[in-house]
Amino acid sequence: MAPPANNSAAAGGRKISQAAFDDLVKENIEDLGMDPAEALEDAIQTLTLQGVDLSAISTCLPGEANPLLQCLDRLKQAVASTSHTLDAEAENSLDTLSDLLSADRSKTAAIAVENGAVDLVLRACSTASSSSPRALNTLGLLLHDMQSTEAFRSCNGPRVLVSILKDGTENVEVLKSAFSVVAAASTGNEVVKAEFMELKIDEIILQVLGRHGGKGGGGCVLSVYDAIVALLTPDDPRVVASEVYGYARRFAKIGIATALVESLHGGLAADGLVSATIALKAVAVNDSICKSIAESGGIDVMLQCIDDSGEQGNKIVARTCCSLLSKLAGSDSNKTAIVEKGGLKKLIQLSNRFSDDPSVLQEVMSIIRVICLRSPDNAALAIEAGAGELAIQAMENFPAAPQLQKNSCLMIRNLVVRNPENRQV
């Protein structure tokens, strides 16, 4: 079911058009005799007190040129006169727009979107898809909230992006930029996610992972992992029951989970290790998918990465890999596999190496908690490996780390609930 229409005015305050705002400033000058700066300030204060949302309003002094609006006018003229490739004027306008957005994104993007920038840049993307990612990068900067992603959707953005991706499967730079746009457009917007899925973007993702992924090469198009996460995250506040879990099952069914595992085999040497691990966690939404990931070698590669991250002191990789392993351990058969492969020992070793970092320790506690759930044999093995002492030391050393304290308590509960002999530790 599609989410209800978003009432952006209610969400961000009452709306006013740029023309109405300009007229109010003009009235202050002509009718009340204010100087331009005073007239502008009075208009802003008056409307703000009335609860009017001015985020998309240009508040330049009367008669003062707005560089953003001038840039959009130049871009509009350049795109209108372009048929196949962007000319120098269009490219310069895109560069200027990107610079303006980078300098003050939230304010500038809101004004740009209100003045039709999404449609303009999408038209530029359609023209330049085969030659340059410049327009795609600018589009990604524009997409920052519900209003901008809805503008993207209403301008047929998903179809434009899918067409670009289909035509640019051999162009890594275009792929990077296009998938960044997919991620930005899908974030927080269930309808955009649904449209991308209707256009079978999952098949394109699998194709890209196959061509530009593989052992040690998964990092060449990092943004594809961001797109996977955005498509599979239930983050639209308008929706009670998201469809993303069905999308994740579809991703796994066509082989994306297996392709992601393959991209992890490069280990810490692969640029995309962290991003691919996060993406794989987003796909692992049920027991059967977790089992299939293990069968594809997912547990082996995670345990190896956990070992390597400890040796190399890489806390980010350690946290990310532990988080995925905890998700995989939700399957009972995977719990057994992790223990049989020496996982408990590796986790205790990791905690010793990062004994000063509660963010790593809390992930270790989480995995051991899951491994011991409903499994007294695993709980006994965890105690033998030193999980009890680990919990006590961590809780004593980091009393102000709430998540670590919580995970430690939950782990202790699973260690002792079916193993009374463990309660003496």
Mean pLDDT of the chain: 91
How far apart CA 211 and CA 220 sit, in angstroms, is: 10
Least confident of 81-85, 142-146, 186-190, 310-314: 81-85
Q: Are 302 and 273 in contact (CB under 8 A)?
A: no
Could you tell me the domains of the chain? 8-63 (no CATH), 296-425 (1.25.10.10)
**Using CA atoms in the order 392, 394, 396, 398, what is the torsion angle rounded to 10 degrees?**
-160
> Tens digits of per-residue pLDDT, 375-385?
999 999 999 99
State how far the Cα of 371 lies from the Cα of 387, in Å rounded to an integer. 12
**Model pLDDT for residues 336-368, shown as the tens digit of each residue:** 999 999 999 999 999 999 999 999 999 999 999
The Cα–Cα gap between 375 and 373 comes to 5
Q: Which residue has the higher pLDDT, 190 or 18?
A: 190
Q: How far apart are CA 54 and CA 66, in angstroms?
A: 16
The model carries a pTM of 0.89
Backbone angles phi, psi at 52, to 5 degrees: -85, 135
Question: CA separation (Å) from 75 to 89, 92, 163?
Answer: 8, 9, 22
Token pair for 234 = 């239930």
Q: Could you read off the pLDDT of 126-180 as tens digits, one per residue?
A: 886 455 788 999 999 999 999 999 999 999 999 999 999 998 888 888 999 999 9
Residue 46 has pLDDT above 80, yes or no: yes
